[in-house]
Amino acid sequence: MSGKVYLIGAGPGDPGLLTLRGKEILELADVVVYDRLVSPAILGMCNPKAKMVDVGKMPTHHKVKQSEINKLLVQFAGEYPQGVVARLKGGDPFVFGRGGEEALELVDAGVEFEIVPGITSAISVPAYAGIPVSHRGIATSFHIITGHEKSDLSLDFDALAKCPGTLIFLMGIANMDLIAKRLIECGKDPKTPLAFIEKGTTPYQRTVMATLETAGETIVRDNVTAPAITIMGGVVELGKTLAWKKNLPLSGKRLVVTRAAKQASGITARLMALGAEVIETPMIETRSLDIRNWADLANYDLLAFTSTNGVESFFKQLLASGRDIRELAGKKIASVGKITEKKLLEYGIRCDYVPEDHTGEGLGKLLAEKCSVGELNDSRILLLQGNLADDTLMKLLPKATRWVVYETTPVAELPDWKREAIESANAVVFASSSAVENFVKLNARVNSLAFCIGRMTEASAKKAGFETMTSDETTMDSLVKKVAEYYVAGENA
């Protein structure tokens, strides 16, 4: 029995353009063999336990040869019997992706495989530049051509020059001067509009317009670099009206967010909405802990939750123990704040008590007050918390009982792909001192700018040698605002 290989198209760059099927496989993968153009956000979706193999670049900066990649896939299928080997390629695996060659090798070796198509850059990158590849009355066909071949080789310039459809060249920047000249020689109108679209669909996307006759000089003058596609034809003009992707305050900025995965999504989404590329690098991981004294649950009248992790761990263990929410019948429920309250609602539970100020102290005071008026009895209060929770609540409710339902530990390792992504980031975002300390311990090389939430975090970051920018308030909103302000202010943009 050998494992199954999935040739998966990662799409052109924007992680939102990966298919659902592709994501599903990546989450299960035992091995991921990936190319250079695959975005870190997509690598971040892979099963965290998967072996990650970069064939776009070796330590010596040489690409792994195609024949070696083919062999590697067969080898991994053998090493992971019944396993999932994901071969992740930019765009679509069968559009100039050499996916066909890999599949042939798998057939030869008798390895089972599946093709998961991806959105090819050939049509999606123009779409992100507002250029439809076909348009009624302008182009009734479009043609995707490799520009990689030397110009005297297999391209039929006569036919291409006569072709009235849109011409889309992949991999062609280095040869485009020659390609354009040959097309003109063969009779294509030198005034044919043309666009180069660099790093399309990513936060670094750039469109440069030219005509067939100015193609070569434009590439040099505007320093057009790979990966870029070249699109030629009347449809290019539509891009002037339809270009919809806005240049946002954080476009072209790569930021590292060090919050724990679950909490990161809020700030990540906000920074991405401002145009940034975000590398989520949590500094801590949480693990739910076994609860052995379930029988004691009957002794409590009120359960108090102080985090969404606590809620998730508690219910996970409750179900794992063979019980369900009926165990909570008749009990009062308290939550530290709105987010935890919302999480409880997902489990079908409404809260009886939520303090106004959303802090442990607020919750403790509220419950203590209810105890003093006899509404509650503090010896029958159960606090469900993590191993790092401080004793604020226990001090305010001395007779309550505390169960540690989850554990938080510092992340001890960084995968290579993440280390590399971090190296080229513009800045790191820290939401706690412990995140700074752990980041330093992980020895990640990084640009020395840190955005910090709160003065304590700022002090730790300064101590660690970072240049710091600190949010005015200790909220994520304020931090996001700070980041945007910093980059909008001219000299840093």
Contacting residues toward ligand SAH, per CB under 6 A: 12-13, 37, 89-92, 95-97, 120-122, 125, 170-171, 197, 199-202, 226-229
Q: How far is the CB of 22 from ligand SAH (least distance, A)?
A: 13
Question: Residue 77: which of 88, 86, 85 has the closest Cα?
Answer: 85
Nearer CB in complex with ligand SAH: 123/446: 123
Q: Would you say 193 or 200 has its CB closer to ligand SAH?
A: 200
Min dist CB 477 to ligand SAH, Å, is: 31
Minimum distance of ligand SAH from residue 180's CB (angstroms): 15
Identify the active-site residue in 57, 65, 162, 342. 57
Q: State in angstroms the smallest separation of the CB of 369 from ligand SAH.
A: 58
β-strand pairing of 401-410 with 284-288: antiparallel
CB nearer to ligand SAH: give 229 or 256: 229
Active site residue 35: yes
For ligand SAH, which is the closer residue by CB, 127 or 349?
Answer: 127
Minimum distance of ligand SAH from residue 120's CB (angstroms): 3
CB of 384 to ligand SAH, least distance (A): 46
Nearer to ligand SAH, 121 or 426 (CB): 121
Q: Which is nearer to ligand SAH, 13 or 454 (CB)?
A: 13
CB of 111 to ligand SAH, least distance (A): 21
Which lies closer to ligand SAH via its Cβ, residue 228 or residue 260? 228
From the list 45, 171, 209, 456, the catalytic residue is: 171
- In the complex with ligand SAH, the residue whose CB is nearer, 93 or 310, is 93
456 is catalytic: no
The alpha-carbon radius of gyration of the chain (Å, integer) is: 28
Please pick, among 35, 54, 92, 378, the residue that the annotation labels catalytic. 35
Q: How far is the CB of 218 from ligand SAH (least distance, A)?
A: 16
SS (H, E, C) the chain: CCCEEEEEECECCCHHHCCHHHHHHHHHCCEEEECCCCCHHHHCCCCCCCEEEECCCCCCCCCCCHHHHHHHHHHHHHHCCCCEEEEEECECCCCCCCHHHHHHHHHHHCCCEEEECCCCHHHHHHHHCCCCCCECCCECCEEEEECCCCCCCCCCHHHHHHCCCEEEEECCCCCHHHHHHHHHHCCCCCCCEEEEEECCCCCCCEEEEEEHHHHHHHHHHCCCCCCEEEEECHHHHHHHHHCCCCCCCCCCCEEEECCCHHHHHHHHHHHHHCCCEEEECCCEEEEECCCCCHHHHHHCCEEEECCHHHHHHHHHHHHHCCCCHHHHCCCEEEECCHHHHHHHHHCCCCCCECCCCCCHHHHHHHHHHHHHCCCCCHHHEEEEEECCCCCHHHHHCCCCEEEEEEEEEECCCCCHHHHHHHHCCCEEEECCHHHHHHHHHCCCCCCCEEEECCHHHHHHHHHCCCEEEECCCCCHHHHHHHHHHHHHCHHHC
240 is catalytic: no
Active-site residue set: 35, 57, 171
